[in-house]
Amino acid sequence: MDFKSSPVLYLIAGAVILFVLAQSVFFLVKAWKRGKELGIDKKKLRDSVTSSAIFTIPSALSVLATVIALAPAIGLVVPWVRLSVLGNITYETVAATEAINAFGITTGISEAITDPEVFAGVAWVMTIGICFSLVILPFVAKPLHKKFLNAGKKKEETETAVIAEEKEETTDSKKKKRSFAGFMDHVTPALFIGLIGAFISNSILGAGKKDVDLDGAGILSVITLATAVISSVILEIITKKFKLTWLEPFIMPIGMIMGMVAAIVAYNVLPPEIAMLEWRG
């Protein structure tokens, strides 16, 4: 199993992460100098750096949760370096699972990879797949940015027109204009909900391999899902009720970690015949 954690892999990962850190420090120094040139108060600059650093903590927790989820299958190094550069749990886990399935292995990321060829294939899929965004971005970023700006202007114009004509128009025409103006606001949330829905359905009805324990949907997958959802909902309610805006970025990573903890506790506390129960395994 040395191919998952060889010194060469650690050297490559360390070099990549050091480059990312050096890049971050470089732009931090440049931004600080530019801020001073613009006459921005040092206290405001320090507050900006502090708030930015705090804002990275939720992302770091999500990265940690993803590394923990992927490490049993493909080791620590590849998820660590992948998520330290560019990636997220919704992409990395899907890419790794699909790559493993392409080799005819149905267990996904629930079991350790013992074949170096499969490991290399998974690493390539995870890495090359995410690189397309970096290759395409320089060519499409500017045109897309202009389109989004134009869409934002049109939305403002439409909303202004609706307000200006409120007294003259019927209720139905008002609703149509407002629904059109707010259409783009719902596209991204809808796509995200669809993606999350795929994970939820897999936890409830996902079919696994019969001869592999805890591969299909069962008691543990439902407990994990329910704990993560309930934790997130409770945190959302607390955030809104007490106006704790600083807590909002932490809701998803905390929910993920709570789900993992619940799975570990349930596996060790519940009787084996209940903890290992699967209806799609």
| Residues 138-194 pLDDT 10s | 888 788 777 767 766 766 666 666 566 555 555 555 454 455 445 556 766 777 788
d(C-alpha 276, C-alpha 274), whole Å: 5
Does 220 or 168 have the greater pLDDT score? Answer: 220
pLDDT, one tens digit per residue, over 58-74 is 777 778 878 888 888 89
What is the C-alpha separation between 127 and 139, in angstroms, rounded?
Answer: 20
Alpha carbon distances (Å) from 233 to 227, 237, 239: 10, 6, 10
CB 85 within 8 A of CB 16: yes
Whole-number pLDDT of residue 159: 60
Q: What is the pLDDT of residue 167?
A: 53
Q: What is the pTM of this model?
A: 0.60
Partners of 218 in beta bridges: 278
Question: Which stretches does DSSP call E strand in 68-207?
Answer: none
Give pLDDT, residue 156. 64
